[in-house]
């Protein structure tokens, strides 16, 4: 079996599962944020079960509209606080104590190799970076998980992406996943598991693997996964809150198809409005004037991303007419960036550094775009209206490309721009 099949077999108490089968699986952890959580809480109360199945396996995180920007969002925060207190939820990350939900889940030890984790957020697939099967579910479905700790799932078929070679300078994991999306399409992996493997993967940090798995859902995938290795085990051993059993794909495992990609041939890539699979080499869309540059989100708000951006922003100041927003993905990352002097670099370059939050990424809190404005973002979606006005345009790129473009005031290929 491949990794996705092995995890679902273990979770359902079976020796073997096959694609297309429906399995009833035991969940290792469940996560909800303040956008999806209140709906799940309401549905949970309607079920009539007095207590959640396990108050140490449910993680609640305030992250999307943090701090509250409207009375409505303050009400949602209050619902989460009351439920956490009422149910004695051990792991509740309120404002100032966590950050973006997917980053917090990983760095606080709630995701372990071999786990089945469900989250009431589509980018729960991020957790596959640690060799876990993470998948997003709806709020009412989450209510049933709160009550029972179990879920029905259809075993997905898997697509294997075999990366080989070494990345060129100024090419990042974000460029890799945008390239893959350009090959598969926005719906080409619907309800499939994307397994990322190959010699390149072993060289990537856990954060870079999270970037790959995070955007699996942008191809329609149910999950994105990386087989755990020594780097994974070293990472989780310091954080693990419980025992775990790493699983790996068998060498003779079956896949629906396999893609082989030489990453040394990949250049900086960019997803153009208004679809994540409208991907082109950055150099083909150079000279598009930008109004805003954003670095952050569950895709690219990690310390590696901030370091890469700071290295570029030390070269000068952000172009006049461009506003740049930088959002560390968690409290831990924010503190590390402070210690390393990255925050000072950003502010001196003219950027606005915000508290850890989803913020500008989902267009419901801050950093919204006005009609006719253009933003280059390190986030994961560029749908119409995603970051504000439906008449705005969003381009998706790596933090390296975003930072270089902020200096130039226009979209630029960082390889060419930084070598000039």
Query: Is pLDDT above 90 for 217?
Result: yes
Q: Over the stretch 289-346, which tens digit does the pLDDT of each residue have?
A: 999 999 999 999 999 999 999 999 999 999 999 999 999 999 999 999 999 999 999 9
Domain ranges (residues) in the chain:
3-261, 270-419
CA dist., res. 21 & res. 105, Å (int): 29
Query: Is pLDDT above 90 for 365?
Result: no
Strand order in the sheet with 257-262: 223-226, 193-197, 158-164, 257-262
Q: Give the helix ranges, DSSP H, for 185-283.
A: 199-203, 206-214, 230-237
Q: Which secondary structure element, helix H or strand E, spans residue 30, and what is its range? A: strand 29-33
Q: Which residues neighbour 364 within 8 Å (Cβ) at sequence distance 6 or greater?
A: 35, 64, 65, 358
The distance in angstroms from the start CA to the end CA of the chain is 50
- Answer for the pair 313, 349: CB distance below 8 angstroms, yes or no: yes
Q: How many CB atoms lie within 10 A of CB 298?
A: 29
pLDDT for residue 363: 86
- Answer for the pair 387, 366: CB distance below 8 angstroms, yes or no: no
Strand order in the sheet with 29-33: 91-93, 58-61, 29-33, 116-119, 133-136
CA–CA distances in Å: residue 215 to residues 26, 51, 135, 186, 359: 25, 34, 12, 10, 18
Q: State the maximum Cα–Cα separation within the chain, in Å, rounded to a whole number.
A: 65
Q: Over the stretch 81-97, which tens digit does the pLDDT of each residue have?
A: 999 999 999 999 999 99
CA–CA distances in Å: residue 403 to residues 28, 128, 312, 319, 417: 38, 27, 6, 11, 11
Q: Considering only CA atoms, which of 52, 112, 134 is closest in space to residue 86?
A: 52
Q: Over the stretch 104-125, which tens digit does the pLDDT of each residue have?
A: 999 999 999 999 999 999 999 9
Q: Over the stretch 230-282, which tens digit does the pLDDT of each residue have?
A: 999 999 998 998 999 999 999 999 999 999 999 999 999 999 999 999 999 99
Q: How many CB atoms lie within 10 A of CB 110?
A: 26
**Average pLDDT, rounded, for the chain:** 96
Q: Considering only CA atoms, which of 121, 58, 132, 195 is closest in space to residue 380?
A: 121
99: alpha, beta or left? (left if phi > 0; alpha if psi -120 to 50): left
Q: Over the stretch 399-420, which tens digit does the pLDDT of each residue have?
A: 999 999 999 999 999 998 888 6
Query: Is pLDDT above 80 for 59?
Result: yes
Q: How many CB atoms lie within 10 A of CB 267?
A: 17
The residue count of the chain comes to: 420
For 207, the 3-state DSSP assignment is helix
Same fold, 3-261 and 270-419: yes
CA dist., res. 393 & res. 372, Å (int): 7
For 173, the 3-state DSSP assignment is helix
pLDDT for residue 241: 87
Q: Does domain 270-419 have CATH number 1.10.1050.10?
A: no
In CATH, the number for domain 3-261 is: 3.30.499.10
- How far is CA 30 from its chain centroid? 16
């Amino acid at each position: 079996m491949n990794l996705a099949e092995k995890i679902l077999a273990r979770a359902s108490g079976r020796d073997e599962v096959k694609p297309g089968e429906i399995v009833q699986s035991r969940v290792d952890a469940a996560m909800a944020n303040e956008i999806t959580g209140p709906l799940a809480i309401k549905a949970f109360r309607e079920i009539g079960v007095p207590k959640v199945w396990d108050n140490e396996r449910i993680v609640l995180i305030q992250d999307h509209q943090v701090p509250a920007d409207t009375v409505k969002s303050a009400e949602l925060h209050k619902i989460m606080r009351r439920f956490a207190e009422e149910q004695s939820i051990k792991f509740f990350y309120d404002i100032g104590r966590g950050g973006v939900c997917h980053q917090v889940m990983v760095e606080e030890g709630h995701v372990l190799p071999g786990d089945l984790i469900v989250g009431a957020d589509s980018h729960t697939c991020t957790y596959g970076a640690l060799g876990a099967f993470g998948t997003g579910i709806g709020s009412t479905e989450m209510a049933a998980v709160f009550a029972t700790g179990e879920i029905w799932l259809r075993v997905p078929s898997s697509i294997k992406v075999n990366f080989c070679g070494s990345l060129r300078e100024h090419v990042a994991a974000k460029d890799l996943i945008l390239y893959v999306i350009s090959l598969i399409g926005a719906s080409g992996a619907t309800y499939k598991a994307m397994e990322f493997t190959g010699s390149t993967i072993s060289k990537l940090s856990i954060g870079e693997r999270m970037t790959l798995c995070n955007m699996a859902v942008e191809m329609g995938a149910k999950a994105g996964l990386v087989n755990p290795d020594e780097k994974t085990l070293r990472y989780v051993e310091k954080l693990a809150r419980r025992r775990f059993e790493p699983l790996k794909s068998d060498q003779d495992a079956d896949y629906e198809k396999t893609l082989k990609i030489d990453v040394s041939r990949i250049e900086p890539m960019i997803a153009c409005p208004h679809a994540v699979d409208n991907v082109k080499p950055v150099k083909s869309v150079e000279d598009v004037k930008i109004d805003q540059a954003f670095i952050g989100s569950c895709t690219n708000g990690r310390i590696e991303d901030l370091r890469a951006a700071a290295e570029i922003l030390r070269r000068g100041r952000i172009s006049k007419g461009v506003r740049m927003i930088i959002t560390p993905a968690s409290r831990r990352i924010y503190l590390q960036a402070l210690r390393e002097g990255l925050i000072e670099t950003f502010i001196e370059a003219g950027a606005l550094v915000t508290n850890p939050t989803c913020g500008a990424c989902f267009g419901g809190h801050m950093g919204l775009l006005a009609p006719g404005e253009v933003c280059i973002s390190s986030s994961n979606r560029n749908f119409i209206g995603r970051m504000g006005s439906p008449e705005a345009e969003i381009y998706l790129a790596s933090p390296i490309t975003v930072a270089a473009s902020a200096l130039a005031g226009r979209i630029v290929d960082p390889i060419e721009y930084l070598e000039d």
